[in-house]
Amino acid sequence: MIWMVLAFPLLGALLNGFLLPRRSKFLSHGVAVAAVGSAFLCACSVFLDFFAARRPQLHFGFEWLRAGKFVAPFELAVDQLSGLMILIITGIGTLIHIYAGGYMKEEETTYRFFAYLNLFIFMMLLLVLGNNLLVMFVGWEGVGLCSYLLIGYWFQEEANAKAGMKAFLVNRIGDIGFLIGIFLTFRHFGTVSFTELSSWINLMTTLPDPYPKAIFWITLSFFIGACGKSAQLPLYVWLPDAMAGPTPVSALIHAATMVTAGIFMMTRMSFFYYAAPDTMLIVAFVGAFTALFAATIALVQTDIKKVLAYSTVSQLGYMVLACGVGAFDAGVFHLLTHACFKALLFLGAGSVIFAMHHEQDMRRMGGLRKHLPITHAVMLIGVLAIIGVPGFSGFFSKDEILWKAFIFPTYGPILWGVGFLAAGCTAFYMVRLLCLTFYGPSYQDPHAHHHHHEPHETPWYMWAPLVILAFLSVAVGYLGVPDFLAHLVGGRNLFASYLEGLVYIPTSARSAWTHLHAEHAHSLEWGLMLTSVAWVTLAAGTAVFCYVNRPVRGIAGFLGAHFPRVHQLLLDKYRVDECYQQKIVTPLAEISTFLWQLFDVRILNGCVNWVGYLLMGTSGIASFRMTGSLHRYGFWVLAGTVGILVFSCF
């Protein structure tokens, strides 16, 4: 069954890519949905089997690579983490595939789109199921390729093609880190299998030299890979541009697949990360500052998808922060809740864009609540979930991360403070998005010809997946009710106990992580939680005050009037792209041009051309004797013969 989980999406991709008739949109959509839906059913079966056995299952495929001591079989593993991930990828993937049929119905053909989408699911499944670093790397590169193909899907427009290329190149930078990590792992441990690595590190009570240093560099290299895939500072720049692809692609990349790969990989290798506290500190700070950095940019964006894109970078920052403070279970739980509400928000935004005839500027929306009642209701649930309103899933997962950050030794309060500020920004920009889109007066231009059609609710096969996701955005949170709340009803954190066997601290590293299991006063947790809820309520209330029925466009107008430089800096996204262009891209282009001029044009071409000139010159010198006079030729033949005879006599 586990091989079927992989086979169905691959089969769907091959059928759509090579075999099916190109014109039938209905057929290409049907095959794609059937492929992912079947994979989901198989994934459910695999998960239930694993859940009943309660021990990791290894599935050997074939011996893939063998070179000297190096062995990498093509082997899949089903455990708590990969079992959960295949459910998220295929489950949410199926809903996105169903929705995509409606969203893409104006396209002439969709076979290419659905072939890429199925291939994306296949590669992501391979990434999470691989039992060694090399199988994971194939999936890792595969999702990079699919993101390039899907972000640049409408490649006829240069901006879209550039966005795809940008995603591809920035991810390659991270992938160099990932590759170095693989090389170092094999160099020091002689294997790339997760099972062998975890058992090796678990047997060590103390790590002898040079292992602590080696593990530091290994974990740091892998974290660079995670920064590329999971869009952390400084490699986050590709993700907002990924909005160039069709909206279902944004939902798939941002919610269920690619961006979660870095978090997944660090959790899969948590035994290494626990043994490298220095790396963990770097991870925690990068995560915390990414969360705040992206959240501040989202405050002033006007494109509905760009707001959600920066929101994703910010939420990924929370997950990375959780990994950095050793709370891998909280990070994965936020990954799960985020997959539900972010897919919901992206597909909801897609419904709005679809109803508004592909208008994405929120300043031209407003008052859509009465035209899109179902989309409004589910988007409202999604917003309440992401900002962490009590009772919704984001509340449970985000507060758990903030709590674990707070109890982190030495730097805990700083990390908590940064995450806390980011939570306020999240509440503000998400409620702002809701207000600008659904409430207040309509800001549509009455003279614009394409708005003569009133916006109306999308067809049922587009809103049905949204309703399912809205339900999940509430329900999933109750899997991870924090211990101090669960105790009230005589329970415990189900999600943390589910991951218990997988995320463990190796014996050699226990001393550095005692705070995770220390007893803390419940009053402190209550206090932090209530502070967080009050802060979020304040930020959301401010957004409502600023943006509902206000002629002045809220805080952006205020900032623009009183702090024009700050406002412009946020609008320009801190000018990071421009900085990269000026400091990295342009100098590289200039160096490349110089080297091309020097080596290609002068040295290589020069050498080849000089050989030609030399031969032409010597043949020219010899050819002036060729006059065409027969008796002169005869004389030279005779003279040559006499010369040879004389020479041979002596």
Identify the pLDDT of residue 444. Answer: 60
For residue 371, pLDDT beyond 90: no
pLDDT of residue 632: 79
Domain ranges within the chain, ordered by starting residue: 276-571, 577-649
List, in order, residues 6 or more apart from 305 with CB less than 8 Å away.
243, 247, 250, 346, 349, 353, 360
Rg (CA), the chain: 30
Q: How confident is the model at residue 562 (pLDDT cuts 50, 70, 90)?
A: confident
Q: Grade residue 448 by pLDDT with cuts at 50, 70 and 90.
A: very low
Structural contact between residues 3 and 40, judged by C-beta atoms closer than 8 angstroms: no
Residue 277 has pLDDT above 70, yes or no: yes
**pLDDT-based confidence at residue 450 (cuts at 50, 70, 90):** very low
Residue spans of alpha helices (H) in 439-521:
460-475, 483-486, 494-499
pLDDT given for residue 559 in this prediction: 67
Q: Residue for token digits 């296949």?
A: 122
Smallest CA-to-CA distance from 355 within 382, 373, 381, 378 is with: 373
Residue 490 burial (10 A CB sphere; 0-12, 13-18, 19+): exposed
> H helices of 152-237, where?
158-189, 194-203, 211-229
Q: How confident is the model at residue 571 (pLDDT cuts 50, 70, 90)?
A: confident
Report the range of poorest mean pLDDT among 249-253, 312-316, 527-531: 249-253
What is the mean pLDDT of the segment spanning 525-535?
92
Q: Convert the pLDDT of each residue in 389-434 to its tens digit.
A: 988 999 999 999 999 999 888 888 999 999 999 999 999 999 999 9
Q: Which residue has the higher pLDDT, 69 or 295?
A: 295
Q: Please state whether 575 falls in left (phi above 0), alpha (psi between -120 and 50) or beta.
A: left
Secondary-structure breakdown of the chain: helix, strand, coil percentages, each rounded to the nearest 5:
75, 5, 20
Name which of 182-196, 301-315, 502-516 the model is least confident about: 502-516
Contact 44, 87 (CB under 8 A): yes
pLDDT above 60: residue 557: yes
**Candidate from 24-33, 156-165, 188-197, 355-364 with smallest mean pLDDT:** 355-364
Encode pLDDT of 37-49 as tens digits. 999 999 999 999 9
H and E: helices and strands count for the chain = 28, 2
Which of 287-301, 497-511, 551-565 ranks highest by mean pLDDT?
287-301
Note the Cα 342 to chain centre separation in Å: 13
Per-residue confidence at 26, pLDDT binned at 50, 70, 90?
confident
Whether pLDDT at 551 is above 70:
no
Give the integer Cα–Cα distance in Å for 528 and 541.
Answer: 20
What percentage of the chain has pLDDT greater than the value 70? Answer: 96
Instruction: Please give the full DSSP string across 339-394, using - where no structure is assigned.
Output: HHHHHHHHHHHHHHHHHTTS--BGGG---TTTT-HHHHHHHHHHHHHHHT-TTSHH
E strand or H helix at 87: helix 80-103
The one-letter amino acid code at 575 reads: R
Rounded to the nearest integer, the mean pLDDT of the chain is 87
Half-sphere exposure of 494 (CA within 13 A, CB side): 10
Residue 63 has pLDDT above 80, yes or no: yes
Is 595 a residue whose pLDDT tops 60? Answer: yes
**519 alpha-carbon distance from chain centroid:** 36
| Three-class secondary structure of residue 245 per DSSP | coil
∠ at Cα 104 (23, 100), nearest 5°? 115
Q: Over range 226-238, report the average pLDDT.
A: 88
Q: Mean pLDDT throughout 596-613?
A: 90
Span of 132-141, 208-217, 374-383, 479-488 with lowest mean pLDDT: 479-488
Closest Cα to residue 265, out of 326, 178, 180, 197?
178
Residue with tokens 């160039």, as numbered in its chain: 244
pLDDT of residue 449: 45
Confidence bin at 445 (pLDDT 50/70/90) = low
